[in-house]
Amino acid sequence: MKIIINFLFLLLILASCNPQKKLFKALDELQKHPIESAKYCADKYPVKDTTIYRDSVKFDTLYMGEYVFDTTVVKDTVYITKTVPKTITKTVTNIKEVYRENTARTEQYRLQYEKCEAKYQALFLDYEKSVKQGFDYRKQRDKMRLWFWILVGAIGAYTVLKVKKILPF
């Protein structure tokens, strides 16, 4: 009886810890109450407004009409005054730009970046491990080549000594 109770308890624990089931249940609840979920998202990720003000001033001078000459005589000096009719236009442009930043989207991109960065770090560590393993294989290969040539030299020396009958056996 105790085994059955333990088995049922274990089954209950394993059945209740299904994260996929919990996720689908939470999504269903969010879809049932869209206003509350939107309010939660708005509170959690408020929209940031950035206001940019730009001013520009432009002067434009327009000469119009004819020249007007005025002469005045004072004692023995003649003064000639030249007058040019002109119009000066001053244009002031004020631009107000409001930029709205979607912080929820920014947070989503940040999380995606962190996920990609973690994958990159894992791949980089695997790459370093593979490079180190390649160096180890090269060392092992060089050691095997050395032993091979030592063995070939020993067999060659034995053959030469045997052919010249220097060795008695």
CA 166, CA 153: separation in Å to the nearest integer? Answer: 17
Per-residue model confidence as pLDDT tens digits over 149-167: 999 999 999 888 888 888 7
Query: What pLDDT is recorded for position 68?
Result: 67
Q: What percent of the chain has pLDDT over 90?
A: 15
Question: Are 81 and 157 members of one domain?
Answer: yes
DSSP track, 15-57:
HHT-HHHHHHHHHHHHHH-HHHHHHHHHHHSPPEEEEEEEEEE
Counting the structural domains of the chain, the total is 2
Domain range for 135 is 45-163
Per-residue model confidence as pLDDT tens digits over 56-72: 777 776 666 666 666 77
pLDDT beyond 70 at 141? yes
Query: What pLDDT is recorded for position 169?
Result: 63
Whether the full predicted model's pTM is greater than 0.75, yes or no, is: no
Question: Are 29 and 83 members of one domain?
Answer: no
Amino acid 168 reads P
Decide if 77 is inside a domain: yes
Question: Are 66 and 141 members of one domain?
Answer: yes
